[in-house]
Structure 1
Amino acid sequence: MAEGFIERSHFFESAASMWVAGELVHVEDLVLHDAHMDIRTPTHELTIAHSILRARRRIATSEPDWALSDRGLATLSGSRQVEETSEVSVVRERAGEGEPRRSEEPAPLAAEFAHIDAVLERSDRLISTMLKGDTEAAPERRGLVVGDLMIRDPDWDEVDRLSQWRSVQHVVQDMPPVLAGALLFDAWEALDPVQRQHGLGGVMIGAYLRYRGKVTSHLPGFNVGLKVIGRERRRAKDRSIRLVAFLDAMSASADAGIKEIARLSQARVQMERRLLGRRSTSSLPAAIELILSRPVVSAGMIAKAARVTPRGALTLIADLGVREFTGRGRYRAWGVL
């Protein structure tokens, strides 16, 4: 059940991360968006949830220390400024453990990125030329339109904030992993280092716990557990209350994970009974694997995975007897949730 549990946990954790942040994203919509089968125009919140989903997948398939490295954090945050700055060296120098960095080979796509930067630079110059008519307002207007300033606040200083957060990481390195993770999460919430990527904090803490060896089988998450923790505890002014709330959330997430594994195991046994007497070329095994790996599935997703027609997918669903969740005549979804 490992692969199915891990894949489903990415969806549940991504949706729960948005819920904790005060945004509602339905797991059904997230699954369909990930499969490029949206039934409506994706919302901004859904796009953010999907970016968290992709980040979790990328970390889960990488080395345990990748997400905490300069390259990993730059990839996850999408910040060129972070990538160009050696954060690890800054932290080690402050801690008195500075070491010379080894030269890295040029990125395989360096030429393509340079071309894109050149295009952006030409666009900036063109926009600046168009705004020269208003000499007094042009600087402010350019600041709102040109380049990264349209997306990022130049006064945010991600480099400094990330340096502070990594300084905390160095301080807690000798502490027990769970306590260290709680302190790092609290520091991320306070510093909010990566602009417009607040949900990345929970993913980074999961990566840290995996790096410390607390959980080695998968990328842990705790936003599912934070959903059952009252906001007055999660946002308390007293730091000790916030830390205990985080620990309780980790425990709640672990309990939810155990129940999910038990539920999936029971569902697999029940569906595999339908395979008795079937031909070896039956499409049911592919449908079972897909259903176990996603919180919900559509007929189109099953048709694509099992390589059958949409009508054949509906037949497979009927044979397996899985539950229909939407209650609609069109755009229906099934699962063992």
Structure 2
Amino acid sequence: MDARAPTAEIIRAARVLAARRLLLSAAPGWAFSAEGLAALHGGAFLAPWEGEAEKPMASDEPDGEGAFGDDGEPAPDDPLAAELAALDAALARTERALERRPAVDPESRDPLVYDLDWDEDERLAHWRDAVEFTSGLPPVLAAALTAALWDDIEPLQHVPWLGRLLAAALLRQRGKTKSHLLCVNSGARAVPRLRLKQADPVAKILFWLAAILAAAEQGLRDHDRWLLARASRVGKLSGRRGNSHLPQALDLALARPIVTAELLAQELKVSARAGQNLIAELGLRELTGRRRYRAWGIL
């Protein structure tokens, strides 16, 4: 949580994280099905504060009066009206996903931001047909081609990062990463960008192969660090009572990139003060450098 308004970078990071969680929570082959692509195309990965999805539908009429003003809008200070508006927004997002409609309708797109001649449905179908031809290739090569084809075809405007997640989803579908999504973006940052900028298709494929290799090596190093961090703190768990929350707090700190006292209190059903005590006992490192809205990490 930050006192300032979210920046464009934070919004984009939230969209990537939401898309990763959506892909990981679904079945391995869901991302490449018609339903999965429709959900991703429909903006199911939008951040909660982003776009028109959080606004109630204009055609919805309230069942009663009092919580709404004369113009049908919810009263600004009425909590019930805010809950009803949030429910309407969730229903609107569900209907958009079921109807396979984009989060921002083409008719309402700003020509200064979007290319109105960009046929996303046709480009997405072209990309999907091209990916189907990679079914007979080795999984890693197929994933590299998936990412390269997304960069070349550009099915969705302003969403270049989705192709990297779909490449990771393909590796999970083909059984190479059964329990997680590979961080292909992390590997791409570690590989020189010169290969990607070249027009040679072979150079682009080699770039994504190198990115997948770098991401796999980075994942192994992170895994070793997590095991070492857990092993160094296992001694603090010995001699504890059976109802101690410290083992659960350690598992939660390993499962999350950052934790807060409020998060520990909510997940472990303890007080906020007890959450702070658990953080101190585990010796977690403070990551924000602030007095308020602090967060800790195990590494």
TM-score by length of 2: 0.73
Report what 1:103 is aligned to: none
Report how many residues are paired: 243
Q: Do the aligned partners of 2:143 and 2:171 also contact (CA within 8 Å) in 1?
A: yes
Which has the larger helix fraction? 1
What amino acid is the match of 2:4?
A: R
Deviation of 1:183 after TM superposition, in Å, equals 1.6
Q: Say whether residues 1:149 and 2:113 are aligned partners.
A: no
What amino acid is the match of 1:60?
A: L
Report what 1:239 is aligned to: 201
Report what 2:139 is aligned to: 177
Report what 2:38 is aligned to: 74
Listed one character per residue, the Cα deviations across residues 49-74 of structure 1 (whole Å, up to 9, x for unaligned) are 22221221122122222110111111
Distance of aligned partners of 1:289 and 1:177 in 2 relative to their CA distance in 1, 3 Å threshold: same
Structure 1: how far apart are the matches of 2:156 and 2:58?
Answer: 21
Report what 1:279 is aligned to: 241
C-alpha RMSD over aligned residues: 2.6
Report what 2:53 is aligned to: none
Structure 2: gaps (5+ residues): 45-55, 61-104
Deviation of 1:147 after TM superposition, in Å, equals 4.9
Deviation of 1:175 after TM superposition, in Å, equals 1.7
Q: Do the aligned partners of 1:299 and 1:313 also contact (CA within 8 Å) in 2?
A: yes
Listed one character per residue, the Cα deviations across residues 153-177 of structure 1 (whole Å, up to 9, x for unaligned) are 4321011111221221122222222
- Name the stretch that deviates more: 71-80 or 49-58: 71-80
Percent identity reads 40
What amino acid is the match of 2:182?
A: P
2:24 to 53, 60, 64: 60
Distance of aligned partners of 1:271 and 1:116 in 2 relative to their CA distance in 1, 3 Å threshold: same
Report what 1:166 is aligned to: 128
SS of the aligned residue for 1:227 comes to: helix
Q: Do the aligned partners of 2:190 and 2:211 also contact (CA within 8 Å) in 1?
A: yes
Q: Do the aligned partners of 1:286 and 1:305 also contact (CA within 8 Å) in 2?
A: no
Structure 1: how far apart are the matches of 2:225 and 2:196?
Answer: 29
Structure 1: how far apart are the matches of 2:255 and 2:4?
Answer: 23
> Where do 1:291-302 residues align within 5 Å?
291-302=253-264
Distance of aligned partners of 1:77 and 1:38 in 2 relative to their CA distance in 1, 3 Å threshold: farther
User: Which 4+ runs in 1 deviate beyond 6 A?
Assistant: none
2:183 to 221, 243, 254: 221
Report what 2:232 is aligned to: 270
Distance of aligned partners of 1:146 and 1:226 in 2 relative to their CA distance in 1, 3 Å threshold: closer
Structure 2: how far apart are the matches of 1:219 and 1:252?
Answer: 14
Deviation of 1:118 after TM superposition, in Å, equals 5.1
Distance of aligned partners of 1:281 and 1:38 in 2 relative to their CA distance in 1, 3 Å threshold: farther
> Where do 1:86-101 residues align within 5 Å?
none
Q: Do the aligned partners of 2:165 and 2:184 also contact (CA within 8 Å) in 1?
A: no
Distance of aligned partners of 1:146 and 1:323 in 2 relative to their CA distance in 1, 3 Å threshold: closer
Q: Say whether residues 1:204 and 2:166 are aligned partners.
A: yes
Q: Do the aligned partners of 2:196 and 2:204 also contact (CA within 8 Å) in 1?
A: yes
Q: Say whether residues 1:46 and 2:10 are aligned partners.
A: yes
